[in-house]
């Protein structure tokens, strides 16, 4: 398992985002050298965990629990065949393009060591949005990406560090529950009845997902 590229984005003004100021950093490009990764701070004020990487809409992106976004090269290859065009590393706005790692099959709370120092923890799935659809520029993109249910993973920073393309990735902790990124995605999008199952991951969940799962259970109890 290894890190193929570390990808960062600069702010760019586009006509397909509703972010304040009309800019987005979704167009990620592989970095030439090492990139420092650290906890960016709470959502709403903290942006990306990667130095030099822009997060332009702090309402929905960035912050400690979405500090880093990873996507598997193997899934990009699937989409290349589906769309009939090449997709470079970073095309889906991912900070980390990996090889040999089942990103969407990772468990919430799973920890990865990348390079000598950086340790990340899986928190949640990526939910497709208007900016993502505009960037990819494919018809019915949000629906198609949702149906595929291979969304890639957001991660929080447990131990900061410097990483670069080619670094090894090691899974250093795998929780004993079965709450995967894919399950998190399904429960958060098309199959809300699965939300209670996410509670097996409890405190490792993204706080917004945890609240949604708890609210769903409370509503079920009230209805009963």
* DSSP class of 76: H
Pairing of strands 28-30, 2-9: antiparallel
Cut 0.85: pTM above it: yes
Q: How far apart are CA 132 and CA 90, in angstroms?
A: 12
pLDDT in tens, 22-60: 999 999 999 999 999 999 999 999 999 999 999 999 999
Q: How far apart are CA 31 and CA 98, in angstroms?
A: 14
pLDDT in tens, 64-98: 999 999 999 999 999 999 999 999 999 999 999 99
Q: How far apart are CA 101 and CA 130, in angstroms?
A: 27
């Amino acid at each position: 398992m290894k890190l193929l590229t570390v990808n960062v984005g600069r702010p760019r003004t586009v006509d397909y985002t509703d972010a304040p100021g009309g800019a987005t950093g979704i167009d990620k490009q592989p970095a030439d050298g090492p990139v420092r990764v650290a906890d960016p701070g709470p959502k709403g004020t903290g942006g990306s965990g990667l130095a030099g990487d822009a997060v332009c809409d702090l309402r929905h992106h960035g912050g400690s629990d979405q500090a880093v976004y990873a996507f598997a090269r193997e899934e990009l290859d699937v989409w290349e065949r589906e769309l009939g065009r090449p997709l470079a590393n970073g095309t889906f706005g991912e900070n980390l393009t990996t090889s040999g790692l089942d990103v969407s099959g990772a468990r919430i709370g799973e920890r990865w060591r990348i390079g000598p120092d950086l340790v990340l923890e899986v928190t949640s799935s990526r939910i497709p949005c208007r900016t993502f659809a505009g960037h990819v520029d494919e018809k019915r993109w949000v629906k198609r990406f949702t149906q595929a249910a291979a969304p890639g993973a957001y991660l929080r920073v447990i131990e900061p560090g410097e990483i670069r393309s080619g670094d090894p990735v090691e899974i250093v902790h795998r929780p004993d529950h079965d709450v995967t990124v894919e399950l998190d995605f399904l429960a958060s999008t098309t199959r809300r009845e699965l939300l209670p199952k996410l509670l097996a991951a409890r405190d490792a969940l993204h706080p917004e997902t945890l609240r949604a799962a708890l609210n769903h259970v409370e509503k079920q109890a009230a209805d009963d």
